[in-house]
Amino acid sequence: MPLLVLPFPAIDPVLFQIGPFALRWYALAYIVGIVLAWRYMRQLVLNDRLWGNSPRPTPLDLDDFVVWGTLGIILGGRLGYVLFYNPAYYLANPAEALAVWTGGMSFHGGFAGTVIAMILFAWRRNLSIWRLFDLAGTAAPIGLFFGRIANFINAELWGRPADVPWAFVFPGAGPEPRHPSQLYEAALEGIVLFIVIRILTHRYQMLQRPGFVAGAFAFGYGIARCIAELYRVPDAHIGYLSSFVTMGMILSLPMILTGAAVMIWSLRKASVTA
């Protein structure tokens, strides 16, 4: 064991409880992430410099979309976990499929659910779907950051055994010190990806090129997730699919390819219409 191994901070997953009602850090992370993402998107649509003459949703549109997006995140995230990560268990126990309070959410499922919610909302409001995709791409890293911090507090999704001085011994993960892979993901998928997209929107005005920011988010998330998966232990009931390959990597590959294709399409479309 390395001499500088860090003791895991014993934080109760339940923030506070009143009778049968309990507010967990994980639920609070979702609430804070969604609220901050909504406020950030409202701020962006009010900044005329970022859009030029390009049309965009109004703040009122975003206010109404919050409910749609929240349902897409929660339902898609839960169903994605059920289908991608543990279908056999939930086929045998179907009543537990929607029991989100027991844990188990998939980013890729939440991503798909949010995309569906955005398509339906844009169709209902007669909005440009690419503008809505771009706005979601600017704000998604905020929610990812808080979600990964909640994973760390819950001592779940821990990393592989490590001898680095910032390794933690996670409760329930055995005596070996491990990579805090949740914090790696919070940094890569949250902070780094947010900064990259912020540069694209504010320095290069990429919100004026429909689809580019959305593609950049999908591409960037896929890369960040694949890097983090090198340090994260996959779910025990799935394990490694092949040597170091995990389900998270497999599900991220379509995001990388699609994101790259959308960015190229956006740039080519902009050069044709220029």
Q: DSSP characters for 200-222?
A: HHHTS-GGGSTTHHHHHHHHHHH
Cβ atoms 194, 145 nearer than 8 A: yes
Written as six digits, the tokens of 254 are: 């379509």
Written as six digits, the tokens of 31 are: 């609430």
β-strand partners of 6: 168
Q: Which residues contact 160 (CB under 8 A, 6 or more apart)?
A: 178, 179, 181, 231, 232, 233
Helix 129-153 crosses helix 212-229 at what angle (to 10 degrees)? 20
What is the Cα–Cα distance from 38 to 169, expressed in whole angstroms? 36
β-strand partners of 18: 21
What is the Cα–Cα distance from 224 to 162, expressed in whole angstroms? 20
State which amino acid sits at residue 129: I
148 marked ligand binding residue:
yes
What is the Cα–Cα distance from 197 to 205, expressed in whole angstroms? 10
Class of residue 169 by CB neighbours under 10 A (exposed 0-12, middle 13-18, buried 19+): middle
What is the Cα–Cα distance from 136 to 217, expressed in whole angstroms? 9
For residue 201, give the H/E element and its range.
helix 193-202
Residues contributing to the annotated binding site: 148
